[in-house]
Amino acid sequence: MNRSPVWHPFTQHGLEPPMKRVVSAKGAFLVDEEGSHLFDAISSWWVITHGHRHPAIMAAIRAATETFDQIIFAEFSHEPAETLARGLIALAPAGLEHVFYSDSGSTAVEVALKMALGYCHNRGEKRDRIVVMEHGYHGDTIGTMSTGERGVFNAAYEPLLFGVDRLAFPEAGNEQRTLDLFEACCRSGRVAALLIEPLVLGAGGMKIYGADVLAGLKQIAERHGCLVIADEVMTGWGRTGTLFACERAGIAPDILCTSKGLTGGSLPLAATLCSAEIFDAHVSTDRRKTFFHSSSYTANPIACAAAVANLQVWRDEPVLARIEQVQQALRDNLRRFAGDQRFVSIRQAGTIAALDLVVPAGGYLADAGPRMRQLFRERGFIIRPLGNVIYLMPPYCSTAQDLARAFDAIDEVAGIVTETAPPKARAAGTV
């Protein structure tokens, strides 16, 4: 076979074998060219919510293609974008009244950063600092890399990145330190916004912190007049058990970023929601106060139609009940590892479950990561550990049986990688 000209994301082609092709997808499974059915335990990088090729969303896409392709959005609007914006505002935390479309999670966050800085600039406020949390990840564009954790992801691009102020992650028992650090940053009077992944830091290792911390950060921001940007690209659309993670803390951010599950995972689309105050700061007879941001495919009508259908799925189907079933299955299966010395930090937030495999060298580049990924594939599972961090984030159509099988695979693969038998097998005197 000739080598493919395709350059794949987050792939070291000097180490990886040739990519197998997926030939079909349905529900919680992908089928590859060899006929293997693979349980998509990470929702194809966290985007698939209801399952692959949900009938209502696919039908909406087909219908939209009979009328639309791309339309210049600086010159016109269209019904799918208008309907979607009103639907998002109705579902989002109170106070978010305007919607700006883009096409990925990274660009949604870039838009949010520019909104926050533009808001301060247009009001004549000398606020130019962005505060973030350590271990955060907000995307791979220049602005989002700047606000993410510095390390292997962005070391080569350091000359392009701007500085931000970082808060310590609120480890259990030491949450006050994070709040105190944010208070200290805000006292400078220069903070434009806090950018934060609410409740769960995704690519940073599925780190989970309490809703009370998020609420406390919002209170501090309000006292000091700085904005809060909630990066709900991963946590939105039910991943933490509620539609948006901010709901669990009872807060309404000034800006909210959403993508991934916005279309049910079917097509790329993102939206950045903001308060009327932020929008109004950009409305003027002075054209220099225009919000200068766009992309060629802003508010693609077909993607917007898919998102409108997704909103209808949330209205018509028992999505929250399915989420609760997934949460319970994850909870039940995680219990099997209680006291298992192969793992530490066993944790769950909604439909996200994670546990750290104890290996000699951890972190994102841990050799255990690629090895486990291959072993999972051989057993019919798409599970991509973040180094030694094993996590599941399955579609909501996943059954209890699907998830039990995934945890059986985790048990087996952990034993192979650590060269130990699972505790049950050891107790039975087997190897």
Identify the bridge partners of residue 193 per DSSP, sorted by sequence position.
130, 227
Give every strand in the sheet of 37-40, ordered side by side.
22-26, 29-32, 37-40, 381-382
Dist CA 168 CA 112 (whole Å): 22
R_g of the chain, CA atoms, integer Å:
22
Q: Report the pLDDT value the prediction gives residue 422, as an integer from 0 to 100.
A: 62
Half-sphere exposure of 77 (CA within 13 A, CB side): 10
**CATH class for the region spanning 56-316:** alpha beta
Identify the bridge partners of residue 332 per DSSP, sorted by sequence position.
none
Dist CA 123 CA 377 (whole Å): 53
Q: Report the pLDDT value the prediction gives residue 421, as an integer from 0 to 100.
A: 59
Closest CA to 232 of 217, 221, 248, 220: 248
Identify the bridge partners of residue 230 per DSSP, sorted by sequence position.
196, 256
281 neighbors 118 (Cβ within 8 angstroms):
yes
Half-sphere exposure of 220 (CA within 13 A, CB side): 23
Closest CA to 391 of 343, 350, 352, 349: 352
Dist CA 170 CA 178 (whole Å): 6
Identify the bridge partners of residue 98 per DSSP, sorted by sequence position.
274
DSSP string, 309-351: HHHHHHHHS-HHHHHHHHHHHHHHHHGGGTT-TTEEEEEEETT
Token pair 């944790």 in the structure block, residue:
347
Give every strand in the sheet of 129-133, ordered side by side.
96-102, 270-275, 255-258, 227-231, 191-196, 129-133, 165-167
- Which sequence spans correspond to the domains of the chain? 56-316, 318-427
Dist CA 307 CA 287 (whole Å): 32
CA 57 and chain centroid, separation:
21
Dist CA 178 CA 167 (whole Å): 6
Identify the bridge partners of residue 131 per DSSP, sorted by sequence position.
165, 194
Q: Report the pLDDT value the prediction gives residue 12, as an integer from 0 to 100.
A: 94
How would you write the pLDDT of the chain (431 residues) with one tens digit per residue? Answer: 578 999 999 999 999 999 999 999 999 999 999 999 999 999 999 999 999 999 999 999 999 999 999 999 999 999 999 999 999 999 999 999 999 999 999 999 999 999 999 999 999 999 999 999 999 999 999 999 999 999 988 999 999 999 999 999 999 999 999 999 999 999 999 999 999 999 999 999 999 999 999 999 999 999 999 999 999 999 999 999 999 999 999 999 999 999 999 999 999 999 999 999 999 999 999 999 999 999 999 999 999 999 999 999 999 999 999 999 999 999 999 999 999 999 999 999 999 999 999 999 888 888 999 999 999 999 999 999 999 999 999 999 999 999 999 999 999 999 999 987 566 543 333 32
Architecture of domain 318-427: Alpha-Beta Complex (3.90)
Q: Report the pLDDT value the prediction gives residue 1, as an integer from 0 to 100.
A: 57
Q: Report the pLDDT value the prediction gives residue 425, as an integer from 0 to 100.
A: 44
